[in-house]
Amino acid sequence: MITYRIKAQGYGGGGPSIPTIETTSIEVAQNEIADLIGTDHAVQLYVVDSNGNETRMEFEWYSTVTVNI
């Protein structure tokens, strides 16, 4: 089973600002990453295989801003 591990630090802090999050659901991982980025955190995503090997996984973040006047 694949596990996704999310690590995040708040900008300006010296160490981890949240405990590591682990989930087997990519949808949960996506939502957690979006929430963390939205609250100004630097986020790293890792994939952990069944042997416990951790590999960093790149992701892309897109955001749009709409201004109504």
Along the 69 residues of the chain, how does pLDDT read in single tens digits? 899 999 998 876 666 678 999 999 999 999 999 999 888 888 999 999 999 999 999 988 887 767 777
Residue 38 lies in a domain: yes
Sign of CA dihedral 53, 29, 38, 19: negative
Helix, coil or strand: residue 38: helix
Q: What is the pTM of this model?
A: 0.80
Number of domains, the chain: 1
- What's the alpha-carbon Rg for the chain, to the nearest Å? 14
Residue 26 lies in a domain: yes
CA distance 65 to 43: 21
Residue 23 lies in a domain: yes
- Residue 64: Cβ-neighbour burial (10 angstroms; 0-12, 13-18, 19+): exposed
Residue 62 lies in a domain: no
Residue 17 lies in a domain: yes
Give the domain extent around 15.
7-57
pLDDT score at 12: 66
Q: How far apart are the first and last CA of the chain?
A: 49
